[in-house]
Structure 1
Amino acid sequence: MKTFFLFIKQHCRTTGNTFFALFCFALVFGCVSTGKPQLQTESYLLDYPAPVWEPRSRIEDTIRISRFTIASAYNNTNMIFRGNSYAVDSFNYNRWAVNPADMVGDNLLRDLQTSGLFRAAFSRYAVDEGRYLLQGGIEEFFLRTDKSGNKAVLSLDITVKDVKQREPVKRILFQKKYRGEEPLDEQSPKGYCRAMSQTMQKLSRQIIADVYQAVNKTGNK
């Protein structure tokens, strides 16, 4: 760079070509500029109103939700989409704000608390262990793109345990797999987030209803 500027100075002395000097300066500073501005990354969170419940008798015990596990392929904040059984891709400038395992678990906890079906519902951070423990695992969390249309796909595995039971076999009250798909109403990352939110809303209601029924079957003793 220093040699180049000396060349410019010498050339201006010998030729007096001011225009040439200005052109060279413009060329140099144009080359070392930052180039194209970086695009801003957008972050998304699941968002939907908590399910509304008809009046039911409250279970006079507590339940705690542990941190959900998640399949390794989706254990990140990438907004993943898949077009076939093998390829996996994600949006360049759009991401989930937090890991899907935390988004799903946090929303399910909120919905449980809002339902009022248990005396209390606690997060994994609570000191109270709870009479019942809800464990979950995310098996699928992606946007499926194919000829039938783009759909948000979410599949979960839910287990409920009675922690007061000493025998391991008797601890498990309930285990079930859930799967939901929702078509996009807008072909964009925002539309993907909205469709996934609607899927989670439907599955959350199913899960809470099944958990409530399973606990009631034990007589809540």
Structure 2
Amino acid sequence: MRRSARFVLLFLVVALSAGGCGGILPEPGPAPVFYRLDYDPPPVDCPRPFDKRVRVREFSAASPYDQTEMTVLGPGGEVSFSGTYQWVAPPGRMVAESLGRDLSAGDLFPAVSMDADPSFPPLELTGRIHAFAWERNGVEERAVLTVGVSLTDTAGESGILFNRIYRFRSPPCPEGKASLFASAMSTLVKNLSVRLRQDLCSLGKAAED
């Protein structure tokens, strides 16, 4: 029995080596190039208006912004993707991680944690990506970002404390290069971070008055 089993195993190895599974393997092509959001967050000076910890959840995303491939919007609303140029993570995760990092560096909350925090802080910051794309409109090309953000008190009866949609567009770019898209989108997320922290600061101060 052992000799027969060894013979069958050897036969399978030879068969696979001869190209039995060649059709499953992808055809050779250009290696993907990955980009990340890269910016230095400007500080937002605000005394700590919240006395509760907050957890930043990964943002959800409307299709087609729930994948890593860079998305291009054509002048007629058509959507195309780049298999070669991709983000290191889906936009919802990248934006949430960027905002969590920026909030952690400031004084808005006594503590900021991310999605995996098992302690369930009483405040949650959530969001949804509505647009995260390179837009081609005739001769102009630019990055566009639309994000809805909510702050919820999950421990009390207050419910939703804050809910706002932010829309940003970069200046026109001379070329539709992936590196320019990544740089322009990084600037838009930086602008989102500043605006959100300013709004949360105002919200907290209003709650104290």
Q: Which bin holds the TM-score, normalised by the shorter protein?
A: 0.7 to 0.9
1:39 to 2:30 alignment: yes
What CA distance in whole angstroms lies between the structure 2 residues aligned with 1:91 and 1:119? 41
Aligned mates of 1:37, 1:127 — CA distance in 2: 43
- 2:81 is aligned with 1:90: yes
Point out where structure 2 has 5 or more consecutive residues left out of the alignment: 1-26
Equivalent position of 1:178 in the other structure: 166
Counterparts of 1:99 and 1:111 in 2: how far apart (Å)? 19
Larger Rg: 1
| Identity in percent | 27
Give the letter aligned to residue 203 of structure 2.
A
Deviation at 1:185, TM superposition (A): 6.0
Structure 1 segments (4+ residues) deviating >6 Å:
none
Give the Å deviation of 1:134: 1.0
TM-score calculated relative to the size of structure 1:
0.76
* Equivalent position SS for 2:186: helix
Instruction: Please give the root-mean-square deviation of Cα atoms over the aligned residues, in Å.
Output: 2.0
Residues 100 and 210 (structure 1), Cα distance of their counterparts in 2 relative to 1, 3 Å cut: same
Q: Which residue of 2 aligns with 1:198?
A: 187
Q: Tell me the secondary structure at the aligned position of residue 179 of structure 1.
A: strand
Separation in 1 of the partners of 2:99 and 2:198? Answer: 12
Match of 1:109 in 2: 100
Instruction: State the shift of 1:148 in Å.
Output: 5.2
TM-score, length basis structure 2: 0.80
> What residue identity is the alignment partner of 1:139?
H
Count, aligned residues:
181
In structure 1, the residue corresponding to 2:34 is in which secondary structure?
Answer: strand
1:203 offset after TM fit, Å? 0.8
- Please point out which of 109, 130, 135 is paired with 1:139: 130
Structure 2 residue 68 is matched with structure 1 residue 71: no
Deviations, residues 179-213 of structure 1 (Å, cap 9, x unaligned): 10113365310000000000000011111211222
CA contact (8 A) 1:51 1:115 kept: no
DSSP-derived class of the 1:61 partner: coil
Distance 1:102 1:37 in 2: 29
Measured in 2, the distance between the counterparts of 1:145 and 1:97 equals 23
Q: In 2, distance between residues paired with 1:177 and 1:90?
A: 25
> Which residue does 2:47 correspond to in 1?
57
Query: SS of the counterpart of 2:131?
Result: strand
Gaps in structure 1 of 5+ consecutive residues: 1-35
